[in-house]
Amino acid sequence: MWSVAVAVLAGGVALVGCERGASVGGGAFSPGPAKTGCPAALAHAAVAVARAEKGAPATPGPTDGPPAAAGKNIVYVAQTMTNPGVAGAAEGVREAARVIGWKLRLIDGQGTPTGIQAAFDQAIELRPAGIVIGGFDPDLTSTQVATAAARHIPLVGWHAVGSPGPSSHPALFSNVTTRVEDVAKAGADWVITHSRGHAGVVVFTDASIPFARTKSTLIEKELATCPGVRVLTEENIPIADSSGRTPVEVASLLSRFPHAWTHSIAVNDLYFADAAPALRAARRKGAGAPFNIGAGDGDPSAFQRVNSRQFQAATVPEPFAQQGWQILDELNRAFADAPASGYVAPVHIATAANSHGATTWDPPGYRAAYRRIWGR
């Protein structure tokens, strides 16, 4: 899920290192030479990956905050409910609203600028206590954001800007999201660890979206810490065009790098849904190389590919439901004139070994934590 609201970081990375062999069955990558080219980087990456693969975060949520305000009406303005991330966060908000005792209205922007603006207009006219910006760039609705501010309606975003926490421009009480730096590093560290420091990597990105371009630049920066990992190419495919372009590009990549391409990392899991038919047509094994990790989202289809070992080995998922509960908590803080929580969900890596068949990342503990804070 993307909001187009982060400064662009430019540049690519081309590294020199060992190129590993072709597809290997059973999900295990050929270990390469006994002497790795990046022992220090590999050791650090392995520790980070082991921490991210744990099933329970060290901190499930904030430790304190104001008790629940009574009788609030809020509106969730969704970019589009066909987006699994937007819908997942909305379901978390709905669940939390029932617990805290607030009324929730959801308005679908239908994925178009005109639809989103109309949905936001409708939200303001309902005169709610607070509004949630669900997965779209607030600059798209600058007039509505200004109106909300003039009417003292607090705004909390979900993936509305590139960084978590309060935002001055645009004016958001808080923005709920993971840190792009953490997600990018986790994905790259997984590649370094899984390949034991020897990989030929294809990076899939959408350079038209600043958030995506930033993430892929950070991914390549982290991969560059291991000289045994070589970025073969960066494939710039607009997410909107992925279904048509990715299969064609994957077929070309298989021709260009028949043995060197061992791993892929994408800024969104969607690319691997579209890559699977081309890999299957080339008689690549679903549990073999290239081993793919999505550095973003973790929607149910991504979990299904990971769990069935079909052309995706891992994902760095967003905890959609947990973020929905946090959205409600941030609004409750705004109503109490308290500061934003400052909480950011720690990064997680999901694999077939640790997801246990789940189709979403729903870490334990946060519901109880928020109930304690709210007195519910």
CA distances in angstroms from 285 to 70, 265, 289, 290, listed in the order given: 55, 17, 7, 9
pTM listed for this prediction: 0.87
- Residue 186: how many other CB atoms lie within 10 Å: 26
Show the 3-state SS of 168-222. CCCCEEEEECCCHHHHHHHHHHHHHHHCCCCEEEEEEECCCCHHHHHHHHHHHHH
Q: Are strands 314-315 and 350-351 parallel, antiparallel or unpaired?
A: antiparallel
The per-residue pLDDT string of the chain (376 residues; one tens digit each, 9 = 90 and over) reads 544 333 333 333 333 333 333 333 334 444 444 345 799 999 999 999 999 999 888 889 999 999 999 999 999 999 999 888 999 999 999 999 999 999 999 999 999 999 999 999 999 999 999 999 999 999 999 999 999 999 999 999 999 998 999 999 999 999 999 999 999 999 999 999 999 999 999 999 999 888 889 999 999 999 999 999 999 999 999 988 999 999 999 999 999 999 999 999 999 999 999 999 999 999 999 999 999 999 988 999 999 999 999 999 999 999 999 999 999 999 999 999 999 999 999 999 999 999 999 999 999 999 999 999 999 9
